[in-house]
A = this chain, B = another copy of it.
C-alpha cells in the first residue's frame, strides 16, 4: 500500500473533521444520550403523503425532464416559480435569470467561497456565526473577522468601525456574511434600522453582502421584522440565499441564490464544475410544493410547533440553570446559545464527559467563533427532541454546569 499523504492537496492536508458531524456520529450509537446537538428538523413535521404524491406525479407526468440532465442554474420553470415566491413572500424582486438552484445551502456557501475568495481575502461575519459557513470560507484560505452580536444581532456600529479600520489599512474585504433573521447559532434578529445600516455600510465601502436566510419562514414572535436585507438592496450588492431544508425537508437538498445580475454567470460557470446541476427530480418536487401552496401552509404550521419546543427549552433553562449562565432567547431558528461564566469551563473538553457521564450532547461553541474565543459557550438545539427530553436534557446540562 502506498503512503497516501504525499498525494493530498494542501487543502486536504490541512482539513479537520467538523465537531458537529463527529458528535452526531457518536450519538447515533448511544440511545441513552439526549442530543441537543445537530440542528435537525423533527421528522414528524415532514409532509410525507404530499411529497410522496408529488414525487410520483412528477416522474409520471414530467419524467422526460425530471429524470434527465438539466440546466446548471436550475430548471427555468422552477426558477420562475421561485422568483414569484420570493416576491410574494419576501418582497424580493429577482428575475428567474438571476436565481441559481443549489444542492442545499451548503453548496451555495461553497459556490460563493470559490467564486469570490482567494487566500488572505477578508470575510466579515457575526461572531458567533454558522459553523459550516465559516468552514466553507476558511478552506478557501479566507481570513475571518467577527463582529460582536447583542440581543438584536450584529452590532452594525462595530461593523462600521471595523470596516473603516480594515479599509484604512488597505485590506481587501470581499463580503459580509450575515444571517439577519433567526441567526445561527444565536437566534437573534436584526431590527430594520440595523439592516438598513448594514446596507449603507456595504454601499459606502463598496462591499458585497451574503444574506443567509434559512429560518425566517417560521418566527416565534409576530412583532419581529422579517424583511430581508435584499429588499433594501438598491445597489445590487446582496446575494440572498435560502433553502427548503427547514421548511419542507433537508433530504431533498434544494437551496437557491438570488443574485445581482453581475455575478450570476460566474456562479453558474463554477457550479457547472461542481455537479453539472442540482438533481432535476428534486427541483420538480419542490416546485410542485411551492405551486400547490404546501410550502406556505407548512411553514405556517411549523411556527407554533417549534415555538412550543423553544418555550420548553427556555422554561427549563430558567428552572434549572444556575445564575452564572448567559443565554439567547431566540425569536427564530432552532437554537439557544449559551455562555457559562465560570473560570476554566471548557465545553469542548467537557463534551465527551457530558455524553458519557451526563448522557447529554451539545455543540461546543468555540468553532462558531471567528477569533478562537467561545470556549465557555455551547449551542443547544430544541428542534429534534420531544418536549420531555428537551426538559430532561437541560436538567442534565445544568448538572454538568454546576458540577464541572
Measured CB to CB, the residues of A under 8 A from B are 1-2, 4, 7-12, 15-18, 21, 25, 38, 40-41, 43, 46, 48-49, 51-53, 55-56, 59-60, 63-72, 103-104, 106-107, 110, 114-118, 121, 132, 135-136, 139-140, 174-175, 206, 208, 235-237, 245, 249-253, 260, 262-263, 266, 269-270, 272-282
Contact = CB atoms under 8 A, between A and B. Distances in A.
Contact of A270 (B1, B12, B25, B208): B12
A251 B278 CA distance: 8
A144 to B, nearest CB: 15
Nearest to A283: B251
A46 B67 contact: yes
Given A9-B117, A10-B118, A116-B9, A275 B48 contact: no
29 contacts: A1-B236, A7-B116, A7-B175, A9-B121, A11-B115, A12-B269, A16-B269, A18-B269, A21-B72, A43-B64, A43-B68, A46-B67, A49-B60, A51-B63, A51-B67, A55-B56, A55-B59, A69-B245, A69-B250, A69-B251, A103-B279, A106-B273, A106-B274, A107-B274, A110-B274, A252-B279, A252-B281, A253-B280, A282-B282
Nearest to A255: B275
A167 to B, nearest CB: 13
B237 A2 contact: yes
A258 to B, nearest CB: 15
Given A12-B116, A69-B40, A115-B9, A53 B56 contact: yes
A132 B249 CA distance: 31
A7 B263 contact: yes
Contacts of A72: 21
Contact of A250 (B25, B68, B118, B140): B68
A184 to B, nearest CB: 14
Given A21-B272, A66-B251, A274-B274, 5 more contacts: A11-B114, A11-B270, A49-B60, A69-B250, A139-B273
Contacts of A106: 273-276
Contact of A43 (B48, B49, B67): B67
A68 B252 CA distance: 8
A10 B172 CA distance: 14
B280 A251 contact: yes
